[in-house]
Chain A
């Protein structure tokens, strides 16, 4: 399904993306004419101080929000040309979002949580239970399928959230401070999981505050006051 993507074109392309919030009299430029590309399969860490616009960018990349101006292209499609249903389908099929606060349904089991995106999928999945179980075992939770979030540790909850993000086999995983609510040992486990996914060809973009977490990524982008101030690729 990368029909619109010509060879060499980036998977995600941002052109002069601006997001402005109006707070009373004041205008807050959360993002100020940001242009950046993400190449398929490359794991990227986005860093920068609090309030520098990292989450704003992630929400735009995840088609959860719309820019004030500028264009975003995912798999060659301009998001501003898509209607609300097409955006919903894009979030379902192409993007897996991982939140800092996990955002699991508390009354549902791990399995039911992972099945959620599959139930909204427009492309019928033959056996959604099998698919959800497969995703849970990918994150190492095949023995916790029928546990509810309250019965799981923070790290395990974030794994369930990652399994949910993987369920529809998306090309992109967006993780906004996925380790922000976890201790350092658990953080390492989650990062190793994301690296594994990246090696399987999924484009992982994550936000983090911590330099040692960012070390797992092939590319580091630094934000300050809504603009990119540095963009480093690891030499391999």
Chain B
């Protein structure tokens, strides 16, 4: 088969009947456009989920005190004792821990000069910035030493910095929380919205000791309590296994008798997000499947019109054979016609698909992602459809007997 000849003959044939060529590729165009749009939307959703998960820490486990659902017995959430510094130190020795963070939190109003702002205050250890992969854009985070000293220092989120300091440098300034003056030593990187809708930058973070002893006033109950622990798990561990080990270890540490309910819960927040988004993902797969079906319908359309075209051009095929076209030449020409139709339809369809996806993003607010991979996939699908559905008509043309084809009316 002569490739160049097949392609040039195919182009001549397609140009000879532009309107029909266009109508033939319409189905493929719509099919490719919908595949593109659906893939862009479901890919966009998947990327958003990944971002949410990595923002939460993909390999983090969080432990909170509380009633367990285990064993079907419920103890009141309030009755569960918080964790202690001691328990945290023990957990830190576990082999799968790469970083461990503690956090107590409370609502506060921070005051700077005459401005005030209601926000969330976290008391944390240094490890918190590690488990959250959260750094500062200006200044620095507090040190272990400042924690032991219950130092009056604060690292503030971007929203707080923007609200209280409006463009002036917050570093070195003093803000007050519950009348405790705190020196601003750092401004946190912007994190944006959480997957639950909150503003993650509307935050001030102080050493956990400062929070306990001077601001949140928890010393009235237990001076060393910790209300939430987050652990980053080392690479190579299976999260579900670690979660079981951690639960067993916590039962030991917190001296829970066999058969009694746990007074803590271990969360894998990434699982939460995944579960929430799985319905969305299923929808995406369904839509992509529907789009693929429309592509196949387009392919059947190409096949039908190619079959009609082969019948109409039987004499021409006979003539080509009479002047020396081999079977393979005829097969190649008609295959090239089908593939070209699908390829051009696919290119136009890709452009339409990108447009449709942009529309979905702008009007419907869907997160979308248009990668070259998606375009390549949609186009190869179109070429494959051309090859697959073009083969039958092309073979029919190639198998014609020269003299019968020439006598065809």
Contacts and interface: CB of A to CB of B under 8 A. Distances in A.
Contact of B327 (A84, A108, A119): A84
Interface string B387-404: 000000000000001110
Interface stretch (B130-138, B277-285, B312-320, B346-354): B312-320
Interface in A73-128: 84-85, 88-89, 91-93, 97, 99, 103, 105, 107-108, 116-117, 119-121
B5 interface: yes
A120 B320 contact: yes
A103 to B, nearest CB: 5
B12 A120 contact: no
A203 interface: no
A120 B322 contact: no
A88 B12 contact: no
Interface string B1-42: 010010011001000100000000000000000000000000
A37 to B, nearest CB: 23
Contacts of B2: 119-120
A92 B324 contact: yes
B327 A88 contact: yes
A88 B324 CA distance: 5
A180 B387 CA distance: 43
Given A64-B403, A65-B403, A117 B327 contact: no
A149 interface: no
Nearest to A96: B323
A91 B322 contact: yes
A217 B406 CA distance: 27
Contacts of B385: none
Contacts of A117: 323-324
A48 B326 CA distance: 33
B327 A93 contact: no
B329 A103 contact: no
Interface string A141-173: 000000000000000000000001000100000
Contacts of A97: 322-323
A116 B323 contact: yes
Give the interface residue-count category, chain B.
20 to 34
Nearest to A105: B316
A69 interface: no
Nearest to B399: A84
Contacts of A108: 12
**Interface SS of chain B: helix, strand, loop or mixed?**
helix
Contacts, number: 63
A53 interface: no
A35 interface: no
A59 interface: yes
Interface in B301-345: 315-316, 319-329
B403 A85 contact: no
Nearest to A165: B323
B319 A105 contact: yes
A99 B315 CA distance: 12
Contacts of A226: none
B406 A103 contact: yes
Interface string B357-370: 00000000000000
Interface centre among A88, A97, A117 (most CB of B within 10 A): A88
A84 B16 CA distance: 29
Given A103-B315, A108-B12, A120-B329, A92 B402 contact: no
A89 B403 contact: no
A60 B332 CA distance: 27
Interface centre among B9, B316, B328, B406 (most CB of A within 10 A): B406
A168 B8 CA distance: 20
Contacts of B8: 119
Nearest to A63: B402
Contact of B324 (A59, A99, A168): A168
A120 B326 contact: yes
Given A59-B403, A64-B402, A107-B16, A121 B327 contact: no
B326 A84 contact: yes
Contacts of B5: 119-120
A91 B402 CA distance: 11
A120 B325 contact: yes
Nearest to A102: B319
B316 A88 contact: no
B326 A85 contact: yes
A132 to B, nearest CB: 13
Contacts of A103: 315, 319, 322, 406
Nearest to B15: A107
A116 B320 CA distance: 8
Contacts of B401: 65
Nearest to A108: B12
A164 B319 CA distance: 11
A119 B328 CA distance: 14
A84 B319 CA distance: 15
B323 A91 contact: yes
A93 B321 CA distance: 12
Contacts of B324: 88-89, 91-93, 117, 120-121, 168
Contacts of A65: 401-403
Interface centre among A84, A97, A116, A120 (most CB of B within 10 A): A120
Contacts of A89: 324, 326
A178 interface: no
7 contacts: A85-B326, A88-B329, A91-B321, A91-B322, A99-B406, A103-B406, A117-B323
Nearest 3 CB-CB pairs, A to B? A92-B324, A117-B323, A120-B324
Interface of A: 59, 62, 64-65, 84-85, 88-89, 91-93, 97, 99, 103, 105, 107-108, 116-117, 119-121, 164, 168
Given A59-B403, A65-B403, A99-B406, 4 more contacts: A65-B401, A91-B324, A120-B323, A164-B323
